[in-house]
């Protein structure tokens, strides 16, 4: 019970201090809006909007979560206010869950910006909402944890930005968002399958257009696996690097 009070207040604080601050809202929303406009306006027919939706949703989440978490964490480390959290009687796993939950929620909200745009341009009937929500959640979780992993590996805010771009841009091409994985050159395909976004995007394709190419259950299991491994790695790094 006591821990949950702390959890809730850390989440609220991050929301108020970062995610709901005007510069960050725009920072977070600029990406999904830009992606949406860029892809949707180019496409001619309503069918194309639906085709593009899984990729645009994935990108919105990826860019929203990774930058925001990496930047806020490095910022709090620099101002040393993060030490307050480490000094509180909160289990480290629990604390890091509290810190990431805000970014996960933020990523999920970002996901709905393109959905909203798409609904204005085409009919979204026949959408499989349950797997779609599951995928949005798990993409947000894995991307946030990727951001956490980056935050633990860098010292400065600008490094966090650079380092996350190093991951993000290749993922646009490798994860089957707009170019199907099956059409990639053979030597690149193994890379696709070690990136969590490939599996999340596949669920989205299934839920929106019934054209995923991997088994749904496999996708979910792999995403959960990625989440667990990334979280464990990040915690290990927090212990090694932040508790000196």
Partner 1 sequence: MNIVEVDRLTKKYGDLTAVDQVSFSVHEGEIFGFLGPNGAGKTTTINVLTGLARPTSGTAKVSRFDCAVEIKKAQQIMGIVPDESNLYEEFDGFENLCFCAALYGMKKNEREKKAKDLLEQFGLAEAGKKPFRAYSRGMKRKLTIAAGIIHDPRILFLDEPTTGIDVASARQIRQMIQNLNRSGTTIFLTTHYIEEAERLCDRIAFIVGGKIVRVGPLDELMREVQQENVLQLAFAEGISNLKSSLQQEFPDVVVEVSGNQAIRLRSSRPLNLTPLMRFFEERNLPVYEARIMRPSLEEVFVKITGIELERMKQEKEGKGKQ
Question: Of 5 and 130, which has the nearer Cβ to partner 1?
Answer: 5
User: Are residues 132 and 208 in contact, defined by beta-carbon separation less than 8 angstroms?
Assistant: yes
Quickly count: other Cβ atoms within 10 Å of residue 207's Cβ: 23
Q: Is residue 93 involved in binding partner 1 (CB under 8 A)? A: no
User: Are residues 127 and 48 in contact, defined by beta-carbon separation less than 8 angstroms?
Assistant: no
The phi, psi pair for 8, rounded to 5°, reads: -60, -40
CB of 117 to partner 1, least distance (A): 32
Q: Is the dihedral of CA 126, 112, 170, 103 positive or negative?
A: negative
| Binds partner 1 by CB under 8 A, chosen from 22, 23, 89, 185 | 89
- Here's the x/- map for partner 1, 15-44, by CB under 8 A: it reads as -xx---------------------------
Q: Is residue 97 involved in binding partner 1 (CB under 8 A)? A: no
CB of 6 to partner 1, least distance (A): 5
Distance CA(142)–CA(168), nearest Å, equals 13
Question: Of 85 and 184, which has the nearer Cβ to partner 1?
Answer: 85
Q: Is residue 216 involved in binding partner 1 (CB under 8 A)? A: no
Quickly count: other Cβ atoms within 10 Å of residue 130's Cβ: 9
- Distances in Å between the Cα of 210 and the Cα atoms of 1, 54, 119, 204 are 43, 11, 18, 9
Q: Is residue 88 involved in binding partner 1 (CB under 8 A)? A: yes
Distance CA(137)–CA(58), nearest Å, equals 11
Residues 6+ apart with CB under 8 A from 23: none
Q: Is residue 186 involved in binding partner 1 (CB under 8 A)? A: no
| Binds partner 1 by CB under 8 A, chosen from 22, 23, 84, 130 | 84
Distance CA(68)–CA(24), nearest Å, equals 8
| Binds partner 1 by CB under 8 A, chosen from 15, 25, 29, 85 | 85
- Here's the x/- map for partner 1, 43-82, by CB under 8 A: it reads as ------------------------------------xxx-
Q: Is residue 243 involved in binding partner 1 (CB under 8 A)? A: yes
| Binds partner 1 by CB under 8 A, chosen from 90, 132, 138, 148 | 90
Q: Is residue 122 involved in binding partner 1 (CB under 8 A)? A: no
Distance CA(175)–CA(189), nearest Å, equals 9
Footprint on this chain of partner 1 (rule: CB under 8 A)? 1-3, 5-6, 8-10, 13, 16-17, 79-81, 83-91, 243-244
């Amino acid at each position: 019970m006591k821990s949950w009070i702390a959890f809730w207040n850390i989440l609220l604080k991050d929301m108020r201090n970062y995610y709901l601050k005007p510069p960050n809202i725009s920072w977070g929303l600029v990406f999904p809006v830009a992606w949406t406009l860029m892809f949707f306006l180019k496409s001619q027919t309503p069918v194309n909007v639906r085709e593009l939706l899984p990729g645009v949703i994935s990108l919105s989440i990826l860019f929203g979560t990774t930058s925001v978490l990496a930047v806020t964490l490095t910022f709090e480390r620099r101002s040393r206010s993060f030490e307050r959290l480490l000094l509180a009687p909160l289990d480290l796993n629990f604390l890091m869950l509290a810190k990431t939950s805000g970014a996960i929620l933020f990523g999920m909200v970002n996901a709905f910006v393109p959905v909203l745009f798409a609904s204005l341009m085409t009919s979204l009937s026949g959408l499989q909402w349950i797997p779609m929500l599951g995928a949005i959640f798990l993409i947000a979780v894995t991307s946030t944890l990727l951001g956490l992993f980056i935050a633990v590996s860098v010292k400065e805010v600008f490094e966090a930005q650079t380092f996350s771009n190093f991951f993000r841009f290749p993922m646009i091409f490798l994860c089957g968002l707009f170019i199907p994985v099956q059409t990639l050159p053979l030597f690149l395909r193994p890379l696709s399958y070690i990136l969590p976004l490939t599996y999340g995007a596949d669920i989205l394709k299934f839920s929106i257009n019934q054209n995923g190419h991997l088994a749904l259950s496999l996708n979910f299991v792999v995403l959960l696996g990625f989440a667990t491994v990334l979280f464990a790695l990040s915690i290990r790094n927090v212990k090694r690097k932040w508790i000196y």
